[in-house]
A and B are shown apart, each in its own frame.
Chain A
Amino acid sequence: MSGLPADPSGPGRPESLPATAQTGGARRMTDWDPDALDTDEMILQMGPQHPATHGVLRVELRTDGEIVKAARPHIGYLHRCFEKHCENVDYPGVMPYADRMDYCAAMGNTLGFALAVEKLHAIQVSPYVDTVRVIMAELQRIASHILAVGTYTMDIGAFTPFLHLVRDREKILDLFEWTCGARLLYNYNWVGGVSHDLPDGFVKATRDLLREFDAVTFPEFLDLIIHNRIFVKRLSHVGVCSPELAIFHDLTGPNLRGSGVKRDLRKDAPYCGYETYDFDVCVGTGQYGPVGSCFDRNWVRVLEMRESSRILHQALDRLEKMERTDVHEKVPKRVKPPKGEVYFRSEAPRGQLGYYVVSDGNVNPYRVKVKSPCFTAMSAFHHLAKGLMIADIIALIGSLDIVLGEIDR
């Protein structure tokens, strides 16, 4: 399938020009030329306005009945020039933009950028701030996975599990709102600290939440949908991504671990003191089919919610014994890192999120480049999609758990 062209030929192409004329004949466009289709094939545009493409993704499908012969994703409908904007605002001003990349997991985004600039600035935050950041990141991971897994069940056609899960996500968002006043885009992680200290009673409230999540929501969810026979049959042999393919396409996070590769930056290159927490890296085991299927990717996310809950319990224990410090202690009056460049990657809920920041010694970054996990996940899409059915395409998009805000930036 390596013959797939990189750029679109479809509807924008003038009728009079043959496909090869426009591209100089260099690329093979026959897959997508309407004249080159077999008589029983047709091109189906899925998206950008489609209920199950998780945002404004457009997928061009060459279908033969229900079978998808080839699929090509088109991205860019949510491009907001994030990286260019960053060059024109100061470092704290980048944070709201970072929030808006992966709007389902904003805490993870800002954490990555804050750590990158701190590395450039050589700031070492206190253990208290580190613990607060871990708590926030893991709560956000649970919230993000709830959304990913919940909407995934909706893609498969079951609406109820989603609402059961969102019940708990609401409570996590309540905690965030209580702490920093925002429910979705927090601007919480700052360079050198966090914006607000945890409120009184936060530990108790979080424990209540986790107690309910561990004891009620999570096991119920497993019973209700994950081991449901229809659900398993729909997913366990669909979109199988071999470990080689996953590594070749630089899949990260749950997508990579779903293929059975045990890679997690929280273990491999720990930050924020993750090395001191006791948790497992979950990988897909292929319990119902080949390793790396849609089921496995989803299953890894489900298990990670439990692992995040374990980390949270430890972090809360630690926080109770810890002496409070000022969370603004290390925040510089003016963030003006020395000349230089830094690349820092962290494990966001959707995978490795890397920030490449170049500083010319000014208050604005000279360049910010983001390595997005969803973008690389999308690059494997056309391999995985070949030969599936239309319903499986939806399952595949959902299992890669893409957020278009992060793909397009």
Chain B
Amino acid sequence: MDATYDYLVWLLPAAAQWPSWLVVLIITALPALACFMFMSLSPLIYVYAERKVSAFMQDRIGPNRVGPIGLLQTLADTIKLLFKEAIFPKKVDRKLFVLAPLLVNVGAFMPFLVIPWGGRLQPADLNVGVFYVVAIASLSTVALIMAGWASNNKYSLFGGMRSAAQIVSYEIPTMMLLLVPVMIVGSLSLQDITRAQAGGLQNWFVFRYFPILPVAFIAFFVAGLAETNRAPFDIPEAESELVGGFHTEYSGFFFACFFMAEYTEMFIISAVASVLFLGGYLAPHPALQQIGPVPMGWFWIWFKAWFLIFVMMWLRWTLPRSRVDQLMDIAWKVLLPIALVLVVVVGGLVLWPATATGFPWDRWVAWPIAIAIVGFLFYVMVRALQWSRRRAQELAAPRQAVTP
């Protein structure tokens, strides 16, 4: 708020003389409004991206009718959903039924409060930031269970119960994996965690303490996938088993609410992961942090989060769905032991830092491996693009008919 006040006064020096209630209103309401607009409109882009990415992977074109290259398709879909009749089946618990889609958005949107978009571009720098994110994000599970129960539908109930089981299982490894960077930094504030990674690409946590933090990052990302109910862990809404899971009975605006929440949660998990492990708003090279007078922090966190969202989409359109018991196996038998080991090891490193500072092995060992992995991924993507282009040309070539 101080930063916003300074900015306002810098912009309009006369504002220092305005009545304080007006100034407070301006410096709180306007940014809040801007944030909310940004948050609630960005799912339009996520959905469009998801459809285009899936189309690319499935050898289709994807939306291309409404607007240039289909850009307005999701807008049209949203308008359709908003104007559709919201159907209330006869025996639903109406209060809970309406409350659930609203509550799910609380859990999805509130974590935006602590996401740092720049050194000072952050709604609130809570000193319990990480803790706050985890606590608030879990709220949406309550809403999912609520929706499942209120729908008075057995499929919805299954979806709600699955969601509860999934979140209860995955909260634990997620929390422990969050502790890993938190212990290294010694602070729960997302701003502090980002600053601890300053100085360029090589200082991002994902590239440090070679086997420990990369593993933590991957495990955290997997757990995050499960927290957001994304494939291959989308069992609460598994459309081929439970029809729609918890949102089977929802339609119109309320369905759109669930949809919006799901995509917003995707962004939240990606943003938190990029703050904790990928340096948040920090540029890969300090020179890129600012282009002329324009600070680029917002771009870098946006870019990193988008990259992770793309990976989520990639996984969703490639992998089949896990079964519910196998999902629990992954949480309890794989992720939890990994998380426990990492917490213990990192705790040791924090207590006796000499072991970490002796030979700079994360620089000498981790860097080549990280470069090799990134290079390989890049190579795979280039090959895939080349292949798909060549194939498109092959398919477009006319077939000449020859008599048998």
Contact = CB atoms under 8 A, between A and B. Distances in A.
A164 B77 CA distance: 26
B20 interface: no
Interface stretch (A103-111, A226-234, A240-248): A226-234
B241 A225 contact: no
Interface in B34-67: 54, 57-60
Interface string A375-409: 00000000000000111101000000000000000
B319 interface: yes
A164 B54 CA distance: 12
Which of A42, A50, A160, A233 has the largest number of chain B CB atoms within 10 A?
Answer: A160
A319 B320 CA distance: 41
Contacts of B238: 157, 391
B232 A159 contact: no
A281 interface: no
Contacts of A230: 232, 319-322, 326
A271 B122 CA distance: 76
A224 interface: yes
A35 interface: no
A225 B234 CA distance: 18
A225 B325 contact: no
A66 B324 contact: yes
Contacts of B319: 157-158, 228, 230
Nearest to B231: A157
A390 B245 CA distance: 13
A42 to B, nearest CB: 7
A296 interface: no
A319 to B, nearest CB: 6
B403 interface: yes
Nearest to B326: A233
Interface in B297-335: 317-326
A207 B298 CA distance: 54
Contacts of A201: 401-404
Interface of B: 54, 57-60, 154-155, 158, 161-162, 231-232, 234-235, 238-243, 317-326, 391, 399-404
A334 interface: no
21 contacts: A42-B154, A44-B154, A51-B240, A51-B243, A52-B241, A155-B240, A156-B240, A156-B320, A157-B240, A160-B318, A167-B59, A200-B401, A201-B402, A203-B404, A204-B399, A205-B401, A230-B319, A389-B324, A390-B241, A391-B238, A394-B241
Top 6 A-B pairs, shortest CB-CB distance: A157-B321, A201-B401, A203-B404, A158-B320, A163-B58, A52-B240
A173 to B, nearest CB: 16
A208 B399 contact: yes
B384 to A, nearest CB: 12
Given A157-B319, A230-B320, A394-B240, 4 more contacts: A163-B58, A233-B323, A234-B322, A391-B324
Contact of A158 (B60, B318, B325, B401): B318
A359 interface: no
A164 B58 contact: yes
Nearest to B323: A391
A224 B391 CA distance: 17
Interface in A201-226: 201-205, 208, 216, 224-225
B317 A160 contact: yes
Nearest to A162: B58
Nearest to A163: B58
B324 to A, nearest CB: 6
A223 to B, nearest CB: 11
A200 to B, nearest CB: 5
Contacts of A202: 404
Nearest to B401: A201
A281 B399 CA distance: 33
B404 A157 contact: no
A153 interface: yes
A202 B155 CA distance: 49
Interface residues of A, number: 41
B24 to A, nearest CB: 50
A320 interface: yes
A295 B341 CA distance: 35
B380 to A, nearest CB: 13
Contact of A224 (B243, B318, B322): B318
A167 B54 CA distance: 15
Interface in A37-93: 42, 44, 50-52, 65-66
Contacts of B231: 157
B401 A157 contact: no
A198 interface: yes
Interface in A307-355: 319-320
A234 B127 CA distance: 44
A75 B295 CA distance: 66
A244 B321 CA distance: 31
Contacts of A224: 318
Contacts of B326: 230, 233-234
Given A44-B154, A200-B404, A201-B401, A234 B323 contact: yes
Contact of B232 (A157, A164, A167, A208): A157
A154 interface: yes
Nearest to A232: B320
A391 B323 CA distance: 7
Interface in A152-202: 153-160, 163-164, 167, 198, 200-202
B320 A198 contact: no
A391 B161 CA distance: 14
A234 B317 CA distance: 17
Contact of B57 (A66, A160, A167, A231): A160
Contacts of A198: 404
A51 B241 CA distance: 8
Contacts of B401: 200-201, 204-205
Nearest to A67: B325
A44 B403 CA distance: 57
Given A44-B154, A157-B232, A391-B241, A231 B320 contact: yes
A51 B239 contact: yes
A104 B54 CA distance: 26
A171 to B, nearest CB: 10
Contacts of B57: 160
Contacts of A164: 58-59
Contact of B402 (A65, A156, A158, A204): A204
Which of B322, B402, B404 has the largest number of chain A CB atoms within 10 A?
Answer: B404
Nearest to B325: A389
Interface in A117-171: 153-160, 163-164, 167
Given A155-B240, A391-B238, A225 B320 contact: yes
B399 A205 contact: yes
Contacts of B239: 51
A154 B240 contact: yes
Contacts of A319: 404
Contacts of B161: 65
